[in-house]
Chains A and B, each alone.
Chain A
């Protein structure tokens, strides 16, 4: 299994075709122009002007598409978003002027002072993450001269230049240059690859080593990129990026600040909901940095990383890295997923089922047109499961709910805040037995309880392939395989899945495989 052909020796950049489960030729990605995310923007601002430079400055609210904030940046920025971005640029530049710009010399009074011009060139290149082009340099220098001639001081004028740099698309977008177009695809140059790598793996602009490699022209071949990526994935910044990915992938942000019915769940507090909303970062760090970094562990671990409130909810005997009771295994049995996919007063088996099918098994889960989403009416005489089972008697519901509900029902042993239970909110015994089968019949399990389903998912090759697709979606900020060229995307997917499989599900290998894939290193042009 794997792709035949490569960037260096292939017949051309375009034309990948699947042959059986393999593909021939290369599979450049379709990653279009995209804006950096809030986290990346803060990283870039702080890198440019010093730690804390972006602190407390509002950034346009993130847009989630299909759950991913990275996808959101593909979309068009709104008018208010642009205003907020420019206001942020102004506020940051002014604050930086007050604390002092990182100047290496004292600016002189003239509009073409050598110290100032040198500073503008250096800052511009760092901000744009590559050497300035002539037109860009001319714009920034002329702006400084205009401001000086308009009787603004050196500091005010430099503030204006910094503001313009922070507002420029070269700072705010990841782009690809048509000058690198060849045979219908753009081979990203060293600088573009450096910024893709660092924003993908670290949510930050390139560090000194990456910048140097790019400047020396040593970030171009697959081997060079492979070496750079391997250095980066062992860093905690990659683990933090992965924590953010997991949050989006399993829609854990839903749990952040979520309200629960006080009478039913008196233990749910601001403190607990905050712990729940942040738990996955500590857990991913543990698995990724110290626990072998395997997907199986993320989904099937017998431990969690808990504070006192979570320890109480999970019934562990200690805090920190703590062993879990048998009925709890991995991320899908943590409160972030379970409480986020639940109502205020009761569990929500349909939400849990849909989320797992769509995000973990990569099943198509579009809402039918015109569907009105409702919960079955409250009825204390029946269990949650009994109430939800009723809708499957209707043929128009059953076609989807026959797939959705069995997975959701397996997690009925967890209440709306993620506490384990044997009776539901109305005192009915919980029935968490289930027979799960996905649409293609590639995943089947007969189990009882969320932990058993989580265990099965953790071991499934279907889930590994799906995970690879999801991480590629995240890295590429798009839905791989959608729209035209889906065959080429499937080929790219095969290219990255193979080493992931071969490593036994090591997520670090997956990240390196993505970074060195055709899809990541090249951009096809329609």
Chain B
């Protein structure tokens, strides 16, 4: 039997352009159920997770101020770069790192080896791994661990108890291990997109066939319907696009934090778009004496020394500017997520990603592990309100413990990803309450 193509009129005009897109190097991965694992069965659950770990705590009076209610808070100068994202943030006063109290080492080491696993002495997998366990699907790689600063295995990120992972600070090395041999896969999502594209052409031809047979007075409305098919095509083409990024240039990534973080953000987005891993960690690995902060130091000999002095001199401008540098980069990451459209046009990548921002310490000057710096951005799932500052303790009160710890925050995060069967994360101890933080997720 001879199969004859029937093509008429302008309705098929979009066809060639569409197929060119398919045949090229750009590939869309539009379909969520093939991207996501079992925890995603529930609609509206975040699809991806980023852990952002920065150094040295913060200066609370410059960070954010609580208001009369949890939605009535004010961003201080340090968080001011996130003003545009105020309604996509959940900030906390009073999330303690209780596990640090029984962790060996000095003020820094004890924090590092407990902050993300909520257990003493690197005693459990960190929250990035726990989320990955629940949301990855078959064939996806383990969390992508990126560093801004030198490549390091500090011990904050753990794939299991006592198994610290390495955060890679060279964008070129990340690219090599991730995209150098990357080929556009002919996976379910790619095939689906081809099917939908061709099917759309079939619909266009059906419109053309019908158009010739209906009264002239009906044609305008039919034509307008047909014209809107272009939007379907556009969404197919621009849905999360897996375009392997170009190989980053060679430069001193350890020194140039701005440029290195920019590359790491691009690699993060490309990793998500290409469906490689649903979890990325971004660790600022030099928080002691970054050369970049030299302009902020004034009379201090290094950044760490200045942080320690903060308690006595709240007004140190350089301290505030240093902390704000992190926030500016964080805002840039959110910008990039927001500028990347999701499959089928259901919002942007930011709409479906949860980002945990954390630091080892709370009040930097005291190197305090009560009330550490903790914030969430993006989404905790549809219907879960953001734009809140949850205040459980006064973070400037260095000695009073809060009711809630990282254990509870991480339990809430797992619940946000649909793992509501998880009763508790991290170590158990009479000083730690069990379960999620009330009213955070649901």
Which A residues contact B (CB, under 8 angstroms)?
32-33, 76-79, 81-83, 86-87, 89-90, 111-112, 117, 133, 135-136, 138-143, 145-147, 150-152, 156-157, 159-161, 163-164, 167-170, 173, 175-179, 181, 186, 523, 525-526
Contact = CB atoms under 8 A, between A and B. Distances in A.
B157 to A, nearest CB: 38
A326 to B, nearest CB: 47
B209 A133 contact: yes
B214 A167 contact: no
B3 A141 contact: yes
Given A160-B195, A160-B198, A173 B344 contact: no
A126 to B, nearest CB: 15
9 contacts: A32-B217, A33-B215, A83-B344, A86-B203, A86-B229, A136-B209, A138-B3, A143-B201, A178-B214
Nearest to B231: A79
A146 B206 contact: no
B344 A140 contact: no
A139 B214 contact: no
B225 interface: yes
Interface string B219-231: 0011011101101
A162 to B, nearest CB: 9
A160 B198 CA distance: 8
B4 interface: yes
Contact of A164 (B4, B202, B232): B202
B191 A178 contact: no
Given A167-B199, A169-B207, A142 B5 contact: yes
Interface string B394-416: 00000000000000000000000
A82 B207 contact: no
Interface in B217-249: 217-218, 221-222, 224-226, 228-229, 231-232, 235
B200 interface: yes
Interface of B: 1, 3-6, 8, 186, 191-192, 194-196, 198-203, 205-207, 209-210, 213-215, 217-218, 221-222, 224-226, 228-229, 231-232, 235, 344-345
Contacts of B198: 143, 146-147, 150, 160
A175 B229 CA distance: 20
A32 B210 CA distance: 15
Contacts of B196: 90, 160, 163
A169 B235 contact: no
Contact of B344 (A87, A141, A145, A157): A87
A113 to B, nearest CB: 10
Contact of A83 (B4, B186, B205, B235): B235
Given A139-B6, A168-B203, A33 B218 contact: yes
The residue in A77, A83, A156, A526 that gathers the most chain B C-beta atoms within 10 A of its C-beta is A83
Contact of B231 (A82, A140, A170, A175): A82
3 A-B pairs with least C-beta separation: A164-B202, A82-B228, A33-B218
Given A82-B229, A86-B229, A152-B191, A143 B224 contact: no
Contacts, number: 140
B202 A161 contact: yes
Given A160-B195, A168-B206, A170-B210, A135 B6 contact: yes
A152 B202 CA distance: 16
Given A139-B209, A146-B198, A167-B200, A156 B235 contact: no
B214 A77 contact: no
A156 B187 CA distance: 13
A140 B202 contact: yes
Contacts of A152: 191, 194-195
Contacts of B217: 32, 525-526
A117 B1 contact: yes
B3 A170 contact: no
Contact of B200 (A86, A139, A176, A178): A86
A480 B231 CA distance: 35
Given A138-B5, A170-B206, A178-B214, 9 more contacts: A32-B221, A33-B215, A133-B213, A138-B6, A142-B4, A147-B194, A164-B200, A167-B200, A168-B210
B317 to A, nearest CB: 49
A167 B204 CA distance: 9
A79 B206 CA distance: 18
Contact of A82 (B5, B8, B186, B225): B225
B206 A136 contact: yes
A156 B3 contact: no
A110 to B, nearest CB: 9
A86 B214 contact: no
Nearest to B233: A86
A147 B3 contact: no
A176 B214 contact: yes
Contact of B195 (A141, A147, A173): A147
A175 B218 contact: yes
A1 B247 CA distance: 85
A283 B102 CA distance: 71
The residue in A150, A160, A181, A523 that gathers the most chain B C-beta atoms within 10 A of its C-beta is A160
Contacts of B221: 32-33, 76
A435 to B, nearest CB: 46
Nearest to A181: B215
The residue in A79, A139, A143 that gathers the most chain B C-beta atoms within 10 A of its C-beta is A139
B195 A112 contact: no
Contacts of B215: 33, 176, 178, 181, 186, 523, 525
A86 B207 CA distance: 14
Given A33-B221, A77-B228, A163 B6 contact: no
A138 B206 contact: no
Nearest to A124: B206
Contacts of A170: 206, 210
Nearest to B195: A160
Contacts of A168: 202-203, 206-207, 210
B218 A32 contact: yes
A142 B195 contact: no
A186 B224 CA distance: 24
Contacts of B205: 135, 139
Contacts of A163: 195-196, 199
B345 A83 contact: yes
B210 A167 contact: no
B247 to A, nearest CB: 30
B203 A164 contact: yes
Contact of B206 (A111, A156, A169): A169
B316 to A, nearest CB: 52
A525 B218 CA distance: 10
Contacts of A159: 195
Given A111-B3, A169-B225, A175-B213, A82 B206 contact: no
B210 A175 contact: yes
Given A142-B5, A164-B202, A177 B345 contact: no
A112 B345 contact: no
Given A33-B222, A169-B222, A176-B214, A135 B209 contact: yes
Given A33-B214, A156-B191, A145 B232 contact: no
B3 A167 contact: no
Contacts of A156: 191-192, 195
A179 B214 CA distance: 9
Nearest to B196: A90
Contacts of B210: 168-170, 173, 175
A287 B417 CA distance: 51
Nearest to A172: B225
